[in-house]
Chain A
Amino acid sequence: MHEMSMALEIARIAEEQLGATAPQLVTVAVEVGDHAGVEPANLEFCLEAVFSTPPFRGAKGMIIRSAGDALQLAYLEVDDGDPEDRGP
């Protein structure tokens, strides 16, 4: 439940970052320090549950382990939705 509350807060930050015209979210990368008081596997499970529901469409949670007590949303990866865009 503790990790679920963190996952919900991460979803709120992600929504804020993406705005109303949110492109499709693909990856949610979260940095979790060894002393953050969070069980990484549980958080990953909760991220999967939270990001499988609208407005998200199956974004994948990714945990980045680090030393210390960091607990932060590191980055988001989005699909820009352009079928002609082949990338750089």
Chain B
Amino acid sequence: MAIQRIEVRERVMARNNELAAQVRSRLAAHGVTALNLVSSPGAGKTTLLERTLDTMGEELGVAIITGDVQTENDAERLAAHTDRIVSAVVTGGACHLDALQVRTALDAIDLDRTRLLFIENVGNLVCPANWDLGEHEKVVLFSVTEGEDKPLKYPAMFERAGHVVMTKTDLLPYVPFDIHRAIANACTVNPELEFVSLSALTSQGMQDWFQFLRQATAPELARA
């Protein structure tokens, strides 16, 4: 018997990044902006998307890919708010979506009728930070029921995001959460971050969110 060494030197994420580039290119060709929504479990991604579909679904031609470890519950909730296809990806245990799953899910979406694609990632502030899905931007949802130090504990996610959406602000009078400190912590990790604060339940701040979405779907940005 002889042991032979095979030099590989392949980056672990190389294949995913190649697929993500394909997704990005395909979206750009159709003028579709893709936002990758990431957060801890329970930060309010699905509720925010429900409200967004109700108000902006038609105007912005919104399509959605949802990722969950198990069940298609989120996709079923969202499908009740739109006639468009909500593409559900059940990861079967994996803690994040990958670019291959997104590329496959895109096949079910009419991109010619779509201007804005939300990718609702698996609720997890660690792994999804490392997986490029071909999105234009990662948007972190950060609820006021979490600790202000979340950005310091999970810096990679905040470093790689463009916007932070502070959610559940209607609960601020009832929870010991200092939103200014939370924002300062996030800026420590990534000074370029921009913020939107809202409550999808009361609609406070939702107009700021919609304004951000309008800007994000401007044609010159979508095709960039």
Chain A interface (Cβ < 8 Å from any Cβ of B): 1-2, 5-6, 9-10, 12-14, 17-18, 23, 26, 30, 37, 70-83, 85-88
Cβ contact within 8 Å between A26 and B15:
no
Bound CA span A13–B7, Å: 12
Main secondary structure of the interface of A (DSSP, over half): mixed
| Number of A-B contacts defined by CB within 8 Å | 83
Bound CA span A72–B14, Å: 9
Bound CA span A13–B156, Å: 25
Residues of B within 8 A of A80 (CB): 1-4
Cβ contact within 8 Å between B9 and A74:
yes
Main secondary structure of the interface of B (DSSP, over half): mixed
Residue of B nearest to A88 (CB): B2
Cβ contact within 8 Å between B16 and A37:
no
Q: Find B12's partner among A23, A71, A77, A86 (CB 8 Å cutoff).
A: A71
Cβ contact within 8 Å between B3 and A5:
no
Residue of B nearest to A84 (CB): B1
Instruction: Quote the shortest CB–CB distance from B2 to chain A (angstroms).
Output: 4
Q: How large is the interface on B (under 10, 10 to 19, 20 to 34, 35 or more residues)?
A: 20 to 34
B9, B10, B12 interface centre (most CB from chain A within 10 Å):
B12
A-B contact pairs, 24 of them (CB 8 A): A1-B94, A2-B127, A2-B130, A5-B94, A5-B127, A6-B12, A9-B13, A10-B12, A14-B8, A23-B4, A26-B3, A37-B129, A37-B156, A71-B11, A72-B8, A72-B11, A75-B8, A76-B5, A76-B8, A77-B3, A77-B4, A83-B1, A86-B2, A87-B2
Residues of A within 8 A of B16 (CB): 9
Residues of B within 8 A of A23 (CB): 4
Cβ contact within 8 Å between B8 and A73:
yes
Bound CA span A14–B3, Å: 16
Question: Which residues of chain B (152-210) have a CB below 8 Å from chain A?
Answer: 156
Bound CA span A30–B12, Å: 9
Residue of A nearest to B16 (CB): A9
Residues of A within 8 A of B13 (CB): 9, 71
Residues of B within 8 A of A26 (CB): 3
Instruction: Quote the shortest CB–CB distance from B98 to chain A (angstroms).
Output: 8
Residue of A nearest to B96 (CB): A5
Residues of A within 8 A of B4 (CB): 23, 77-80
Cβ contact within 8 Å between A37 and B6:
no
| B126 interface residue per 8 A CB criterion | yes
